[in-house]
Structure 1
Amino acid sequence: MTIRTVVWGENIHEQTNDVVKGIYPDGMHTTIAASLNTDVGIEATTATLQEPEHGLSVERLANTDVLLWWGHKDHGAVSDEIVERVAKRVWEGMGLIVLHSGHFSKPFKRLMGTPCALKWREAGERERLWVINPRHPIAEGLDENFVLENEEMYGEQFSVPEPLETVFISWFAGGEVFRSGLTWRRGAGNIFYFRPGHETYPTYHDGNVQKVLRNAVRWAYNPQGTYSAIHDAPNVPVEQALEPIVERGPKLHQSGEAGYK
């Protein structure tokens, strides 16, 4: 069974900036999906901001195992309805991989519950990514570090919740460091943030970056399927208590009545 993967791209810079268009003539999302599809266990398609419902209908998300998200110029254009749709699916077990400037995207901030802010500088600096968790599945097949000759600098502090795991730390030529590969779990869903991916550099053509993303899709995939019961909040009747109890004291709700949400 293949991992049904959707690569979501904002798809603005590729249409408006000649440098970006030259590097990614068919869009960053298409380049990323093509590299994922070299893995026979992954079936990657794309969606963009400009499509109806941003390409993320209820039906399509229901049939998505892992979603990758790249956004930058117009995070605010993403519909709040779609944001809630994505968050709901992550809670139910869909994997989410957030790329580069997607740290400020609405879905990521919704799921993190923090500002997700950081320092940055656009100067084409050398970035060395250190694998500090070499046994992690996302780092499989990598050397202890790899270099991207030109990248945008992201620097600490990165105002995200404490991660479950840190897989990569980056060093930049200007001296800054950054936690470049972080994992979390929200509900039943696995989340991975991966820092590299500035649009004016050929980062998503790099073999090491492509390997990380293929590994990340496999790691984020939840083979147990959709956990829809995570949304349930049942009112358990007294007579169904596991141990016999006697009802006492006043209450707001009748037996079996739904609670407030």
Structure 2
Amino acid sequence: MTDAIRVTVWGENTHEQDDPAVQKVYPDTMHETIAAALRAKLGADVVVRTAWLQQPENGLTEEVLAETDVLTWWGHRAHGEVEDAVVDRVQEAVLSGMGLIALHSAHFSKIFKRLMGTTCSLDWRSENDRELLWTVAAGHPIAAGVPHPLVIEREEMYGELFDIPQPDELVFVSSFSGGEVFRSGCCYRRGQGRVFYFRPGDQEYPTYHQPEIQQVLANAVRWAAPATQRQLPDVHHRATPGWFETA
């Protein structure tokens, strides 16, 4: 794309309102922290807005999505409060070419489960685990400039089995202090759109303040951005056999 990538950073915005521990880690909210990181990393290459659950239509109106090239999504305990009509709208946007980056607990979001077609269930433990994020796709644009391994000193553990379809591309695998492993950076194509699932980012830990994590998010935005104008594929009626011989 020659123009700036239009990014909407969506946040559930619930823990930040009532959990003092989360407020201490993310005083500006998680979505504003992510938005600020993308602005800092990508500069003039992006225009970033934020949206959140408590806004009308969950902040994702037709107008907002029409002006979004890449949508990042963080949710945790209020997946069920996202309106089904909004999920339908986001799904159509992805199928027409909008990029989607699903973060951490967004594996259980309505939209990610809809796009995957599986339960997206997994094992977990939140006990200050040390995470090593290993790059397993050398040369992939999402891994550009990311250390191998990327060390996260304190995080929630996610472990296999992760009930997702086989990724089109697997970029990162995590290992944890308890010995578990997890597919932490998964790329998919759905319709015309690109989808990236990225595991790190529990609300209790300062993961999104970490520069290396911010680099992954910036790389993912570039990768997920549509290369052409968004549109759903057309359906054509071919009335005459052999039409291509005279076209």
Give the aligned partner of residue 20 of structure 1.
22
Letter in 2 for 1:20: V
1:161 maps to 165
Deviation at 1:233, TM superposition (A): 3.0
Q: Is the 8 A contact 1:134 1:144 kept in 2?
A: no
Q: Is the 8 A contact 1:36 1:43 kept in 2?
A: no
Residue 59 of structure 1, CA deviation: 1.2
- Mapped to 2, the partners of 1:109 and 1:14 lie a distance apart of 24
The structure having more radius of gyration, on CA atoms, is: 1
Quick one: distance in 1 between partners of 2:71 and 2:101? 6
RMSD: 1.3
Q: CA deviation at 1:235?
A: 3.1
> 2:69 corresponds to which residue?
65
1:85-127 residue CA offsets vs partner (Å, 9 max, x unmatched): 0010101000000000000000000111111110001111100
Deviation at 1:237, TM superposition (A): 2.3
Instruction: Please state how far the C-alpha of 1:52 moved relative to its aligned partner.
Output: 0.5
State the one-letter code of the partner of 2:161: Q
Paired residues of 2:147 and 2:212 also in contact (CA < 8 A): no
Contact 2:170 2:185 in 1 (8 A): yes
Match of 2:81 in 1: 77
- SS of aligned partner of 2:244: coil
User: In the alignment, which of 48, 51, 60 is matched to residue 47 of structure 1?
Assistant: 51
Measure, in 2, the Cα distance between the counterparts of 1:239 and 1:167.
Answer: 44
Structure 1 distance, partners of 2:101, 2:46, is 14
Tell me how far 1:234 sits from its aligned partner. Answer: 3.4
By how many angstroms is 1:14 displaced? 0.5
**Which amino acid in 1 is paired with 2:84?**
D
SS of equivalent to 1:107? helix
Q: Give the equivalent residue in structure 2 for 1:2.
A: 4
Distance 2:218 2:60 in 1: 21
Corresponding residue number in structure 1 for 2:236: 234
Partner of 1:249 in structure 2? none
Consecutive unaligned residues of structure 1, counting only runs of 5 or more, are: 245-261
- Partner-residue secondary structure (3-state), 2:229: coil
Q: What are the residue-to-residue correspondences of 1:166-185 with 2, within 5 Å?
A: 166-185=170-189
Q: How does 1:240-259 map to 2 (within 5 A)?
A: 241-242=243-244
Q: Which residue, 189, 194, 214 being the options, matches 1:190?
A: 194
Asked whether 1:200 is paired with 2:204, we answer yes
Confirm or deny: 8 A CA contact 2:122 2:159 kept in the other structure.
yes
> Which residue of structure 2 aligns with residue 125 of structure 1?
129
Q: TM-score with structure 1 length normalisation? A: 0.90
Contact 1:192–1:220 (Cα < 8 Å) also in 2: yes
* Aligned structure 1 segments of 4 or more residues deviating by more than 6 angstroms: none
The unaligned stretches of length 5 or more in structure 2 are none
Amino acid at match of 1:24: Y
What amino acid is aligned across from residue 33 of structure 1 in structure 2?
A: A
- TM-score scaled by length of structure 2: 0.95
Tell me the SS of whatever aligns to 1:234.
coil
Count residues in correspondence.
242
**Aligned-residue offset at 1:239:** 7.5
1:15-52 residue CA offsets vs partner (Å, 9 max, x unmatched): 01000011111210000000000112111110000000
